[in-house]
Each structure stands twice: as structure tokens, then as C-alpha cells.
Amino acid sequence: MSNFMTHNNFYFSSDVLSLVNKYAGSIIVVKYGGSVMQNNHLKLKVIEDICLLYYLGINIVLVHGGGIFVNQYLNKLGIEPNFHNGVRVTDSITMEIVEMVLSGKVNKNLVDLFNINNIPAVGLSGKDSKLIQASSLFNDNMQNNLTGKVNMINSSIIHLLLSNKYIPVIASIASDFKGLTYNINADTVASAVASSLKANKLVLLTDMPGILSSLEDSSTLIKNLNLNSINELKNNGTISGGMLPKVEAAVNALESGVNSVHIIDGRVQHSLLYEILTNNRIGSKIII
């Protein structure tokens, strides 16, 4: 009997047991981005799907961004969001808003949703217990830009939470050794966290079906890729724009020991369950 999904329901049969047994006790890092968090109904369903995976014995670490909510608050304050080559320019005022929104609002909202489902979750940012040590993404020519990169992950706090059956919910901000706060791309953070934990899977929930051979045609989804095919698609321009940082995050994770990376459509209800608990692909799976 096969597994299948409809618009509202995910159905699975006894053949899912082999995958549950395979992944029980393993670590899966899920990145949840702001653009696919706007629909409150879908957001609740994503959290419920993570709760089910938790009950099946899978250790879930949730990393989130929230750039679209940051932009909303900036607009309310009359501040124009500023980007340089597709990367947010995070000045000191913007950084305060980023931290307020990601750590104070988005992170706690996600923890609340786990609480509603009686799942123990702990909200963190990269600052907590020096979870992430960061530095500037740019050189000295980019003054007053607090957009950062990950230098090091202190995975001990994550392991402590997982061993005590908590779901870590991590906002993608961090500080350097001087205490200066940085805004970091959530795909980058998720990749670094998955790498440090030697996770079985990294799953990136996006607003795209996955990697497409033709950007305007969802039927051209490429379901299975490896590093060689990724390089070919980058070289011929098939992978470009907003997909590039996701693919770079995927490659970094794979080269650091993560078994597979999945780029899937977070707008599709139960896509997370379908990708993990069936042998079919709803998105793009990348391996070495």
C-alpha cells in the first residue's frame, strides 16, 4: 500500500514503519522561513507535523528566519528595508528591530504553538549559552552593516535540550566575542547547526516547490540531485537568485557530514511529513 497526500490530509500505511524505524533517534534540522510563515493555518499545520515527528522519536531542531515580518515592522516605522546584492544591509537601528521581531515575536510565537500541542520547546537565539559565535559577513568597506556569518556552533546546549526531550527553536541572530549582535541568513544558520550536530537530514521549507529546471514551470521539479549535478545547474544558470544561498547552505551541510538536504515547498500542507515519511519526493533531495 502506498502513501499519498491530498490538499487537506496526509495518509500513510504500514510501509511507513520502515522509515520511522530508520529515523527514530536521529536528528533532523528544519529551517522555517518568514515567507512561508505568513499563513497562520499552514503554520499551525507545520508545527503539528513536527509534533508528530517528535512523537515518532525523531529529534527535531527548528531554525527560523522571519525577514518578511522584519520588513513589516520597518515599514511601520517608516524605515526602508535596504539590500545589497540580495543581502539585507543591517544597520544598528535595523538590527534592534530584527532582534525584537525574531527573538521577541516570531520565536515565542512558534514556542507557543508547540505549547498548545503539549510539546516541550525552548526558544533560543544564537546568543543563548554562546550557541552561535558570529562575525561580520562583509569586509571593512561595508561600515555599519551588522549582517553576519557563523564562525562556530556550540552544540552542547542543543544536545542537552534534545537529550531531555525538548525541541530547540532557534532564531537566526547571534553575537561576536565582543557582544556585537548580528543578523544571519537562516539557511546559513540551519546548515551550520545541522553540520555541528551531524544531523541525518536538513530540510529547508521554502516558497518554491524545490529546484526547478525551468523556473516558471513547477512540473520541472528535479527530485534527486548530487553535488555534481548541483555544480552543473549553477554553471548553466538554472540555479540562481534566491535559490543560490539555499543550495550553498545545502552543499556546506553535505560536505560537513549531513546525509541529505531537502528543499521543499512549505506552502503545501503536510509537505514535511510527505518528504520524510514516504519514499516519494515532494521536493528536491540533495546528496553527496
Instruction: Tell me how far CA of residue 120 lies from CA of 36, 62, 113, 176, 270, in angstroms.
Output: 23, 13, 10, 29, 21
Find out whether 88 is annotated in a ligand binding site. Answer: yes
Find out whether 86 is annotated in a ligand binding site. Answer: no
- Taking residue 137's Cβ as centre, other Cβ atoms within 10 Å add up to 19
Give me the helices (H) in the chain, please.
17-23, 40-55, 67-76, 92-99, 107-116, 156-163, 186-197, 227-235, 243-255, 271-277
Find out whether 183 is annotated in a ligand binding site. Answer: yes
Give the Cα separation of 136 and 182 in Å (integer). Answer: 7
β-pairing, 83-84 vs 87-88, is: antiparallel
Give the Cα separation of 106 and 38 in Å (integer). Answer: 11
Give the Cα separation of 282 and 275 in Å (integer). Answer: 6
Find out whether 210 is annotated in a ligand binding site. Answer: no
Q: Which three-class secondary structure state does DSSP give residue 160?
A: helix
Beta bridge pairs of residue 225: 286
Give the Cα separation of 285 and 210 in Å (integer). Answer: 9
**Could you tell me if 171 and 182 are in contact, meaning their C-beta atoms sit under 8 angstroms apart?**
no
Which residues belong to the annotated binding site?
66-67, 88, 183
Which residues belong to the annotated binding site for substrate?
66-67, 88, 183
